[in-house]
Amino acid sequence: MTAATSITVRVPLKVRRRRGRKTVLTPVREGDEATIPTRADPALVKALGRAFRYQRLLDEGRYASITEMAEAERIERGYLGSLLRLTLLAPAMVEELMEGRTGSAPSLPRLLQPLPEVWEHQLEALGR
């Protein structure tokens, strides 16, 4: 039997906030681009992150209801319910939003509105 081996890969990079956007800074090589800007809307990314966090807290049983969670997290109950609906978005839409691939991404207020439950119908309603 052979001993287990592991490999560590280190990639030197830094994440900087510029003009409200996050930018990945990599070591500059001659002829290469120094930065890779993110295209995703920071407000959408933050809202999606919060939505999935709140859903996880409910799933784990840390809160018995949305009302209890809203009180504990000091969030308006209606807004929390709207945020939680983001977890029901079609996976393709979530992926597009996170990667910033949508040319004309739906706004956060539009995504917080009720959408069809069927993913194909969601994509149609959002013009995809």
**DSSP labels, 41-69:** -HHHHHHHHHHHHHHHHHHTTS-SSHHHH
What is residue 18's predicted lDDT score, i.e. its pLDDT?
73
Does residue 28 form part of some domain?
A: no
Residue range of the domain that includes 49:
42-125
Residue 5 scores a pLDDT above 80 = no
Does residue 79 form part of some domain?
A: yes
Bridge partner list, 36: 24
Does residue 61 form part of some domain?
A: yes
Does residue 88 form part of some domain?
A: yes
Number of domains in the chain: 1
pLDDT band at 7, cuts 50/70/90? confident
pTM for the model: 0.68
Can you tell me the distance from the alpha carbon of 79 to that of 109, in angstroms, rounded to the nearest whole number? 11
Does residue 16 form part of some domain?
A: no
Does residue 102 form part of some domain?
A: yes
Does residue 34 form part of some domain?
A: no
pLDDT band at 106, cuts 50/70/90? confident
